[in-house]
Amino acid sequence: MTKKRKHQEDFQKVKLKVGKKKPRLENATDTNFKTKAIYLPEQLKEDGILPTNNRKLNIKDLLSQMHHYSAGVKQSALLGLKELLSQYPFIIDAHLSNILSEVAAVFTDKDSGVRVAAIRLLQFLAPKIRAEQIAPFFPLVSAHLSSAMTHISEGIQEDSLKVLDILLGEYPILLTNRCSMLLKNFVELISHQQLSKNLKSREKISWMLSVNPNRRVTSQQWRLNVLIRLKKFLQALVDGSSGSEDDEGIQEQKENSQFMRNSVCISWKEHASNQQHIQLYENGGSQPRIDSAFRLRSLVSVTDSMEKGLSSAENLKGFIEIIIPLLIECWTEASPAQLAAPILGNLLEPESQQLMQQVLSIIYLLWKLTKQHDETHKMEAWLRMNYLVDFKHHFMRHFPYSLQETIKHKKRDPYKSTKYYMTSSNSVDHLLLNLTLCDIMVSLASASTLQMDSDWLDMIRKFVTETLQDGCRLNCKQLNRLLGVTWRLMQIQRNKVATETLIKAVYILYQQRNLLFPVRMLLLKFFSRVYQKEELSSQKIRSRSKVLSRWLAGLPQQLALLGSRKPELSKQLIETIHSAASHSNKEFLQSLQATASRIYDPVDGTLVLLPAESQKRLVQLVYFLPCLPTDLLSSLSRCCIMGRMSSDLAATLIGILRMRSSFAGWKCQVQDSSVNDVDYFSFLFSTLTGFSKEELTSLQSIKGKPHISQTQLSPVHLYLTDLDQFLHHWAVTEVVCHSLSTIPSRSQCFDILQNGICKYLVGLAVIPDSTAGSVLCAMSKLLDQACILSENLHKFLASCCYSLLYFLLTLDKEDAEHARKRDMLWGSCISVLALVPRVFRLMLQSLQVSRACREELPVIGQLLRLLMQHGQLRSHMVTSELLVQQIVKDIMTLKSGEVQEQWLTDLHYCFNIYLATHPQGPGAISTEY
Amino acid sequence: MAAPMEVALVTDAAGLLSNCSVWELHSGSALPGYRGGNSGARGLALLGGEHLLGAQLGKGYISVWELQRKDQLQQKIICPGLVTCLTASPNGLYILAGIAESIYLWEVSSGNLLAILNRHYQDLTCLCFTDDSSHFLSGGKDCLVLVWNLYSTLQVEHSQIPEPRHVWSRHSLPITDLCCGFGGPLARAATSSLDQTVKLWEISSGELLLSVLFDVGIMAVTLDLSEYHMFCGGMDGSIFQVDLCAWPVQRDRAFHSERENGKIFKGHRNQVTCLSVSTDGSLLLSGSHDETVRLWDIQSKQCLRTVNHKGPVTNAFITLAPANMFNPDSKPSVPLPKFSKHLHGTESSEDQGAEGVTLRLGLHQQVVGESYLEKADRLYSQMCLTREKNLMGDQEQLKIQVTELEDEISTLRKINKNLFDFSARIITKSAK
C-alpha cells in the first residue's frame, strides 16, 4: 500500500490537456537574456604601448603627421594632439620638446586652418606648462614666432599676433628677454624701411608707415592691432624691470618697501627665551643675499648676449628714434586735424580715439623705461630736445580732447559700445587719453625750463585743476594718474601761487562728502606726501601753504568723527597726525589738543574703538600733546583700567606719562609743566584703584554669595572680580607701583597715597578683591622706615588682609577662575603683614573668636598655622605671644567637648613647636598650604 | 703698566663733591675729580685726550678742563641756549653741541663756529661721531635720527641748507640714545627710543637691519667693541642683553627659563640712563636715575661694584685713560682758542684774511680767488699733462724734444750773432 503510493509520487504522470498551456519543464533553459559587447576605449598603460586618442593614434604618430604635405592631415593631427593631451596630461611632460618644436613649426603654415588649430593647441597648452619648463625651448618658440611675424603673407602675420598674445599672457618675462628681436618685428609689421635719398646719411634709415591694400582689415585697424600688442609688450617690459614698484603717482616710496624686506623685527621676549636668533653678517646685512639675479650664461639669449634689448640706454634711444616718428604719423592720421577745421572741443571718433590712446600709452611706457636708467637727466634732456617741438605741434594743438557723442555708435554695434563705454557716460573715457598726454608732456618739462614751457604747461594746469574740481566721479585709477600729474606739476613749479591753486583743487575734491574709500585714501596719501615735502623744503622760512595747514588742522577732527568705521583710513590718518605732531607743528598741535578729549574718550573715543596697532600709535601720540589737563588724564586713566586696551599698552601709556611728568627729568632742569604733579598722582591713584568712584558706590549694594566674600570678623567685604579683569588690573598695578617707587621723595609720595586711600577707600563696606590686593601691593612696595601710617589706614589694611586671607582659604580648590588669583594676593598680604608689625597685631586682635560663628573656626585655625609657619611673621607672633595664646585658647574652649579634628591638632602642634618653646632653630619653612 | 688703564668718568645731576668723578675701572680706586658745576645728560666729552668738556645742566655754557688740572676750570664756552647734548670728534678737531633744535659745530683749532644745522624739529637728545670722525649722527625728540657727513656739511655754501646723508624716521617716539659701532662710514649704529624699540642701522646704505621690541621704553643703548652684544637700558631699571651673533644651534637647551634670566642685568631701581662697555668686552658700566653707578661682569651678569651718588647719574662712560690725566706737569699741545658765538662766515672778511692758516674748504671762496676745488682741478690737469708726456715720451718723444731744443738754441745763437754783428758794425762805424 505504502509502496504503491510512493511509486505514484515519484513518477507522476503529467497529464496534458487540450486548451491548456503546457507547463514549463523544470530543467528548461531560460533564453530571454540579452548580451552586450564591452568596448575598451583605453588600453592598459603599463605595457610599452603609448596611449592613443580616439583614432588610435599615439603621440609619435601624431607628431609625424605634422610633416604631412596635406593641410587636412596636419589639422586633424593638431586636433588629435589636443585631444590626446587633454586626456593624458602626463604626456606633455614626457614629450615637451617634440610637441613644442612641431607646434611652433606650424605657426608659419600656409593653411589658415592649420594655424588656427595650432593656436588653439597653444592656448590649451600654455597654462599647463610652467615658465621654467618652457624656458629651455623658448628660443625655438620665439624664433618661430618671429619668423611668423616677419612672414611675407599677411594671414600669417595676423595670426602671429594671436600667438604673441598667448605667450605674453603666460610667459611675459621670457618674452621680454627677447625684446630686441620682437620690437624690430613690431616696427616692421606696420612700416617699411626707406633708404634716404641722400647718400650721406646712409646708416640713418627712416621708416615709413606702410599701407597694404591686400589686408582683410583696414590699415588703420591693422595698426591699432599691432599697437595694442606693442603696448602690452612694453607694459610687460616695464612691469618686469621695475619689479613690484607701483605707479609713481601717489604710491609708497620704493625705499620703504625695501626696508621692510631687509630688516628683521624681533620682540625681546622671544629673543630672551631663545626662540628667535639674530645673526648679523660681516658686511652689514642682516640677511645673506641669495636672490641674486646674476647668471653666468643667460638662459634665453645665448647667441645674442651682446645686445641687451632696451635695458641699455643706447638701444632704447635707437628704438625711440624709430618708433616715435611712426607713432606721430599714426596720430596725424587719426587726429581731428584731418577734419576740415578744428571743431570746438575736439571731438573724436571712437576708433581713432582708440588709436590715439594706444599711441600715447606707448610713448608713456617708453618714458617710464627711460626713467629706469641711471642718467635720467641726460635722457630727459635728449627727449626734450628731440621731441618737444613735435609733440607740441601734434599733441598739444587740440589738447583737451573729448569724445564724440556715442549714441549713434551704440545703435550701430551695441556690443562694442557697451564694451568701451560701460564705465563712462561719455565724459570720463577721454580723460585717460588726456591724462596720458599730460603725463608725457609734464615729464618733458623741468624747473629750469619753466619759462619756455609756460604756454602749454598752463593749459595742462588748467585742465588738471578743472578735472579735479569736478572730480567726484573719478575712479581710483584715474585719480591716481591725475594726482601723479599734479604732483609732478608741483615739483616743476615751486612758487607758492601755482602750487596753492593745485592744492586747493585737490582739497575741494577732498572735501566732497561721499567719496569712495580708495579714493579717499589716495587723496590722503597725496596730502601727506605734499606735507612731508613741504616740511623738508621750508624748514626755515615757514611759508606754509594755507590750504595745507587747514587740511592738517582738520585731521584730528576727522579722526574723532571716523570712529571705528574705517580702520585703514584711521591708520593712515594717525600716521600723518603722528608725523605732524612729532615735528611740533604749532597750529596742528593746537587743533590736536582741542580734539584730544574726544579721541581719548573712555567710552566712545577713537582710542578704545580702533584695533591694537592703531591704539599703540595713539598712545604714543599722548607724548606729543602740548599739555595734559586734568580731565584728559582722568579719561586716560579710565582707558587704562577699562580693559579695552591691552595691559602692555596701558603700561606703555603709564610709562609715557611718567616721562612727561616732572619726575623723569633731572632735578635742576627747568621743566615745562605740561603735567601737573597733582594730576599725575591722581592719575596713578585712580589707575591703581581700578574702579571709578561711581562703580565703587554701586558695588556697595551688591550682596550674596557668588559675588561677595564676607567674614564676620572683618568689616570689609570683598567683591570677586572676573579673572580677566583681575589679571589686567594686576598687570597695571605692577606698572603703577613701579612708577610710584621711582619718585624720588618716597615718604611724601607715600603720604599722598595714604591720603588717597583714607579718603576714597576707607569706610567702604564692599571692596573689589583686585583693588584690595593692589593697595596692599603698593603699600608693600612703597613702605620704608621713614613712612608713618595713620591709625585709620592701619585698621583698614588689617581688615583688608584678613578678608583677603579668609577669601583665599575658603576658596574652592577646583574653582579655576579664582585659583589663579591666589599667589598674587597671598604674596601681597604676607609682605604687608611682615613689613608692618602693627597691622599684623591689629589683625590678630580682630580675631575675636568668641564672637565668631563656629563655621569660621577651622579657617582661623588654618590661617594661624600658616602664619606661624612663615619665618618672619613668626617673630612678630613671638612678640605678641599672649595674644596668640589667647586666640588659641579661645578656639580650644569653643571647640572643647567634641572630637579633636585634624586642623585642631595641627594648630596645636604648630603652636607648641613655634611659640611655646621660643625656638630659634628652624628658619624659613616654606609657606605652602 | 702692561695693559692700558681704563677709567670710568661719571657725572651726576647734583654735582656736590665734584662735577665729574673719575675712578679706575678694575680696582675701583677713586682719582681726583673735576670740580665746578654739574653736567647734563649726554653732556660730557673727552677732547683729543687733553681736555674734558662738560655741558652744564640747566645753564647755557660748556665748561672746559685741562685733563691734568682737575680743580680748575680752564674756560667756559658760552652758548646761545641750553646745551642738551655734546660730543667731540675722536680725532679732536671738532666739537658738536645740540642746542634746542640746532646742532652747533665748532672747529677746535680756531674756535670758529663753522655751522649751525637746523634739520630737527624738536630738541636734540644725543649726538655721536663715527670712530673715524667722518660722519656724525644726531637724534632728537622729533623721533628722527639724522646721519651727517661732516665734510659735506662744511663744504656747503652759505645760502644752502646742508642736507643729512640719511634720515631715519622709523622710530615713533623720541630718540633716547645712539651708539655707533666700529668701522667708520661702514659701521652699524644702534638707536634706542621711548617707543620700546632698539634699532640697528647700517650707516653706509642707511638701511634698517634689525629692530628689537621690548616691554619698556629704552633709555640707553651701547654695543661692545666686537659687536657681539647690544646692551639696552630700560626705563624700569633692567639692562637687556641682545646677542647679535647667535647661532640657532643652541635651540635645544633645556634651561629656557634660566636662559631668559641670563640676558637681563637686574639691580637698578630706576631708569638706566647711560651704558658703556670696557674695551675688552668683559665689563659693563651703567648709570641710573636711582643715583647709583654699577659695574657688571658681562659673562656672569653679576654686579661687581655699586657706587652711590648724590643725584641722578647723567653720564658714565669707560675710556682708556689719557696720559695727561696722571701727569700733573703735562700741558695740552695746543691751547684752546676762544670759541666764538657767531657763525664764522658772517664775520667781517678782513678778519679772515688775516688768519691765513685755516684749512677749511668752501667757506673761503670769497677771500681766495679760486676755490680749492678749482685749484685741485688745475693741479690735476697739470699732473695729467706731465703724465701724458711721460707716457708718450719714449725715446722718440725725447729725441723730438731734444731736436726742438737744439733748434731753439741755434736760433738763439743766430740772433745773438746778429746782435753781435750789428753792434760791432755800429761800434766800428763810430770808431771810423
CA distance B209 to chain A (A): 4
- pLDDT tens-digit map of A52-106: 777 777 778 888 888 888 888 888 888 888 888 888 888 888 888 888 888 888 8
pTM of the model: 0.73
Indicate the residue type of A661: S
* Residue-by-residue DSSP string for A402-436: EEPP-HHHHHH-HHHHHHHHSS-SSSSHHHHHHHH
Find chain A residues with C-beta within 8 A of B195's C-beta. Answer: 620
For residue A604, pLDDT over 90 is answered with no
Yes or no: say if B181 and B187 are a contact pair by the CB < 8 Å rule.
yes
Contact B58 A286 (CB under 8 A): no
Give the CA angle between residues A471, A522, A511 to the nearest 5°: 50
Please tell me which residue of chain A has the smallest CA distance to B251. A274
Q: Which of A486-490, A673-677, B151-155, B421-425 has the lowest mean pLDDT?
A: A673-677
| A402, β-bridge pairs | A347
Please tell me which residue of chain B has the smallest CA distance to A651. B216
Yes or no: say if A609 and A615 are a contact pair by the CB < 8 Å rule.
no
Contact B260 A659 (CB under 8 A): no
Q: Which of A170-184, A199-213, A542-556 has the lowest mean pLDDT?
A: A199-213
Output A898 or A731, whichever has higher pLDDT.
A731
Q: Which of A368-377, B246-255, B396-405, B418-427 has the lowest mean pLDDT?
A: B246-255
Q: Which of A16-30, A843-857, B168-182, B217-231 has the lowest mean pLDDT?
A: A843-857
| 374-413 of A, contacting B, C-beta below 8 A | none
- pLDDT tens-digit map of A94-129: 888 888 888 888 888 888 888 898 899 888 888 888
| Residue-level pLDDT at A472 | 67
| B275, β-bridge pairs | B286
Give the gyration radius of chain B's Cα atoms. 30
Interface residue A274 vs chain B (CB under 8 A):
yes
| Residue-level pLDDT at B286 | 93
Is the sign of the CA dihedral B309, B314, B317, B322 positive or negative? negative
* Residue-by-residue DSSP string for A671-700: PP--S-HHHHHHHHHHHHH-S-HHHHHHHT
Q: Which of B216, B248, B256 shows the shortest C-beta gap to A277?
A: B248
pLDDT band at B432 (very low <50, low <70, confident <90, very high): low
Best of B39, B146, B173 to disrupt the A interface by mutation (most A CBs within 10 Å)? B173
Phi-psi region of B94 (alpha: psi -120 to 50; beta: other; left: phi over 0): beta
| Residue-level pLDDT at B362 | 45
- pLDDT tens-digit map of B22-51: 888 888 888 888 887 788 888 889 888 888
Output A299 or B408, whichever has higher pLDDT.
B408
- From CA B214, how far away is CA A651, in angstroms rounded? 12
Contact A582 B259 (CB under 8 A): no
Contact A263 B290 (CB under 8 A): no
> Would strands A717-719 and A766-768 be described as parallel, antiparallel, or unpaired?
parallel
- From CA A123, how far away is CA A606, in angstroms rounded? 54
Is the sign of the CA dihedral A607, A611, A616, A621 positive or negative? negative
pLDDT band at B179 (very low <50, low <70, confident <90, very high): very high
- From CA A433, how far away is CA A431, in angstroms rounded? 5
Yes or no: say if A223 and A332 are a contact pair by the CB < 8 Å rule.
no
* Residue-by-residue DSSP string for A473-527: T--HHHHHHHHHHHHHHHHH--SHHHHHHHHHHHHHHHT-SS--HHHHHHHHHHH
Average pLDDT over residues A611-619: 87
For residue A830, count CB atoms less than 10 angstroms from its CB and return exposed for 0-12, middle for 13-18, buried for 19 or more. Answer: buried
Find chain B residues with C-beta within 8 A of A579's C-beta. Answer: 169
Interface residue A69 vs chain B (CB under 8 A):
no
Grid cell at residue B32? 681726583
Best of B121, B170, B223, B272 to disrupt the A interface by mutation (most A CBs within 10 Å)? B121
Indicate the residue type of A918: H
CA distance B348 to chain A (A): 24
Grid cell at residue B59? 645753564
Grid cell at residue A901? 579634628
Q: Which of A266, A286, A620 shows the shortest C-beta gap to B173?
A: A620
Which residue bears the cell 641699455? Answer: A312
For residue A677, pLDDT over 50 is answered with yes
Cβ neighbours around B271 below 10 Å, total: 26
Q: Which of B173, B242, B253 shows the shortest C-beta gap to A278?
A: B242
For residue B217, pLDDT over 60 is answered with yes
Output B359 or A787, whichever has higher pLDDT.
A787
Average pLDDT over residues A774-791: 82
- pLDDT tens-digit map of B85-142: 999 999 888 999 998 888 999 988 888 888 888 888 888 999 999 988 899 999 998 8
Contact B235 A658 (CB under 8 A): yes
Find chain B residues with C-beta within 8 A of A578's C-beta. Answer: 172
Q: Which of B40, B122, B212 shows the shortest C-beta gap to A271?
A: B212
Which is nearest to A308 in space by CA: A183, A397, A186? A183
| Residue-level pLDDT at B60 | 84
For residue B212, count CB atoms less than 10 angstroms from its CB and return exposed for 0-12, middle for 13-18, buried for 19 or more. Answer: buried
Indicate the residue type of A60: K
| Residue-level pLDDT at A202 | 43
CA distance B147 to chain A (A): 15
pLDDT band at A739 (very low <50, low <70, confident <90, very high): confident
Indicate the residue type of A859: V
Contact B122 A280 (CB under 8 A): no
| Residue-level pLDDT at A213 | 66
Best of B85, B143, B256 to disrupt the A interface by mutation (most A CBs within 10 Å)? B143
Q: Residue A352 contacts by C-beta under 8 Å, 6 or more apart in sequence?
A: A220, A334, A335, A336
Output B347 or B276, whichever has higher pLDDT.
B276
| Residue-level pLDDT at A705 | 66
The alpha carbon of residue B1 and the mean position of all alpha carbons in its chain are separated, in whole angstroms, by 29
For residue A393, pLDDT over 80 is answered with no
Residue A234 dihedral angles phi and psi, to the nearest 5°: -65, -35
| B272, β-bridge pairs | B288
| Residue-level pLDDT at A142 | 85
| Residue-level pLDDT at A43 | 61
Contact A742 B271 (CB under 8 A): yes
Interface ipTM: 0.75
* Residue A200 DSSP SS3: coil
| Residue-level pLDDT at A827 | 87
pLDDT band at B419 (very low <50, low <70, confident <90, very high): very high
pLDDT band at A385 (very low <50, low <70, confident <90, very high): confident
Q: Which of A168-177, A406-415, A827-836 has the lowest mean pLDDT?
A: A406-415
- From CA B100, how far away is CA A672, in angstroms rounded? 14
- pLDDT tens-digit map of B232-244: 999 888 999 888 8
Q: What is the largest CA-CA distance in chain B?
A: 127
| A709, β-bridge pairs | A718
Grid cell at residue A696? 565703587
Contact A259 B289 (CB under 8 A): no
Find chain B residues with C-beta within 8 A of A263's C-beta. Answer: 207-211
Query: 3-state secondary structure string, A60-76?
Result: HHHHHHCCCCCHHHHHH
pLDDT band at A206 (very low <50, low <70, confident <90, very high): low
Yes or no: say if A602 and A642 are a contact pair by the CB < 8 Å rule.
yes
Give the CA angle between residues B385, B388, B392 to the nearest 5°: 140
Contact A584 B142 (CB under 8 A): yes
- From CA A898, how far away is CA A361, in angstroms rounded? 103
Find chain A residues with C-beta within 8 A of B14's C-beta. Answer: 667
| Residue-level pLDDT at A308 | 54
pLDDT band at A169 (very low <50, low <70, confident <90, very high): confident
Q: Residue A128 contacts by C-beta under 8 Å, 6 or more apart in sequence?
A: A89, A92
Which is nearest to B193 in space by CA: A879, A623, A185? A623
Interface residue A254 vs chain B (CB under 8 A):
no
Yes or no: say if B284 and B276 are a contact pair by the CB < 8 Å rule.
yes
- pLDDT tens-digit map of B306-319: 998 888 888 999 98
Average pLDDT, chain B: 81
Interface residue A31 vs chain B (CB under 8 A):
no
Which is nearest to A775 in space by CA: A896, A673, A685? A685
| Residue-level pLDDT at A405 | 42
* Residue B39 DSSP SS3: strand
* Residue B127 DSSP SS3: strand
Yes or no: say if B86 and B99 are a contact pair by the CB < 8 Å rule.
no
Task: Write B97-100 long-range contacts (CB < 8 A, 24+).
Answer: B97/B55, B97/B62, B97/B127, B98/B123, B98/B124, B98/B125, B98/B126, B98/B127, B98/B138, B98/B140, B99/B124, B100/B124
DSSP H helical ranges for A765-918: 769-782, 791-810, 816-819, 822-835, 837-846, 857-869, 871-879, 881-895, 902-910
Q: Count A/B contacts: CB-CB distance under 8 Å.
A: 160
Yes or no: say if A890 and A850 are a contact pair by the CB < 8 Å rule.
yes
The alpha carbon of residue A302 and the mean position of all alpha carbons in its chain are separated, in whole angstroms, by 41
Contact A617 B271 (CB under 8 A): no
- pLDDT tens-digit map of A852-872: 566 777 788 888 888 888 777
What are the angstrom distances between the C-alpha of A408 and each of A404, A411, A414, A416, B333? 10, 5, 10, 12, 95
Q: Which of A539, A584, A656 shows the shortest C-beta gap to B118?
A: A539
Sheet holding B20-24, edge to edge: B30-34, B20-24, B6-12, B313-320
- From CA B217, how far away is CA A735, in angstroms rounded? 13
| Residue-level pLDDT at B388 | 63
Yes or no: say if B40 and B274 are a contact pair by the CB < 8 Å rule.
no
Cβ neighbours around A111 below 10 Å, total: 15
For residue A377, count CB atoms less than 10 angstroms from its CB and return exposed for 0-12, middle for 13-18, buried for 19 or more. Answer: exposed
| Residue-level pLDDT at A397 | 66
Best of B38, B169, B235 to disrupt the A interface by mutation (most A CBs within 10 Å)? B235
Which is nearest to A676 in space by CA: A692, A689, A663, A687? A663
* DSSP secondary structure letter of residue B68: T
For residue B253, pLDDT over 60 is answered with no
- From CA A435, how far away is CA A482, in angstroms rounded? 7
| Residue burial A464-496, b: 16+ Cβ < 10 Å; e: rest | bbebbeebeebeeebbbbbbbbbbbbbebbeee
Output A41 or B251, whichever has higher pLDDT.
A41
Yes or no: say if A592 and A585 are a contact pair by the CB < 8 Å rule.
no
Percentage of chain A with pLDDT > 70?
75
Q: What's the half-sphere exposure (Cβ side, CA atoms, 13 Å) at A530?
A: 31
Q: Which of A273, A279, A658 shows the shortest C-beta gap to B260?
A: A273
- pLDDT tens-digit map of A568-598: 888 888 888 888 888 887 888 888 888 888 8
DSSP H helical ranges for A201-334: 219-242, 254-262, 268-272, 313-334
Output A206 or A180, whichever has higher pLDDT.
A180
Contact B210 A264 (CB under 8 A): yes
> Would strands B313-320 and B6-12 be described as parallel, antiparallel, or unpaired?
antiparallel
pLDDT band at B220 (very low <50, low <70, confident <90, very high): very high
